[in-house]
Amino acid sequence: MSSALRRLRAGPLLIGGTAALIFSGAGGASPAGCADDVAAAKESVAAGRLEEAAAVLKTACRDHAAELAPHFYLAYCYGVTGRLEEARGEYEICARRDPDRPEVYYNLGVILNELGLYQPAAYAFEEALLLDPGCVDANFNCGLSYYYARKPVQAIKFYREARALAPEDATILYWLALAYEEIDRRVALSIWEDYVHQAAAADASYVKSARDHISALRVGKKP
């Protein structure tokens, strides 16, 4: 079920619009050459040529050392191609140089979670939420990180925040029920029943799993 983790965010590189950089070392316009490199990388990523994009961005990082956008986008390319430690390093560069970007902490949290560093991942998501408290995915991923770190009380807090922001998202209920099983099975049973009701058209394997949990809890067994 770890696939429930909400994925990396690419920022403007993949979202569309212009190739304008979201980072600038001096807070103003970025050098034209750097902007051109990022634009070329954007085209490569859109075409699925991630290694090509990474090569362009590595050159941009070297040639435009003061610019952070190439590091952010390079980290994204590393992350989606499984080069997790390299992605982590690039996101940490961004966080040190410009600590006011929630997307940096969000993506760093995803990478740390995939590396199995659940407590540091939770801290990264919390940093993202200080800057963007309304981010559903950051709340949900923070809950996952605390759940994997065996801290269900903290996990529940962030799942509930995510649920309040996105009440239609049945996946949040699924993980909220799992966390409650660790501290209050009566509440967990109620949430599982709500999940089955809300997720009737969802993935069949998740619904079957939820029904199995309900059956076990109704007879007093640990699922």
Q: Report the distance separating Cα 18 and Cα 24, nearest Å.
A: 15
Contacts of 63 (CB under 8 A, 6+ apart): 33, 34, 37
Reported confidence tier of residue 113, pLDDT bands at 50, 70, 90: very high
Question: To 10 degrees, what angle do helices 69-80 and 84-97 make?
Answer: 160
Task: Domains for the chain: give ranges and CATH numbers.
Answer: 2-117 (1.25.40.10), 169-223 (no CATH)
Read off the pLDDT of each residue in 188-205 and give the average, rounded to a whole number. Answer: 86
One-letter amino acid for residue 69 of the chain: A
Which token pair is 161?
Answer: 């925040």
- Predicted confidence (pLDDT) per residue in 29-83, tens digit: 456 678 888 888 888 888 889 899 999 999 999 988 888 888 988 998 998 889 9
**Contact present, 140 and 162 (Cβ < 8 Å):** yes
pLDDT at 27 (0 to 100)? 34
pLDDT at 46 (0 to 100)? 82
Q: What is the mean pLDDT of the chain?
A: 84
Question: To 10 degrees, what angle do helices 50-63 and 69-80 make?
Answer: 150
Read off the pLDDT of each residue in 156-168 and give the average, rounded to a whole number. Answer: 96
The residue that leads in pLDDT, 17 or 10, is: 10
Percent of residues, the chain, with pLDDT higher than 70: 84
Reported confidence tier of residue 109, pLDDT bands at 50, 70, 90: very high
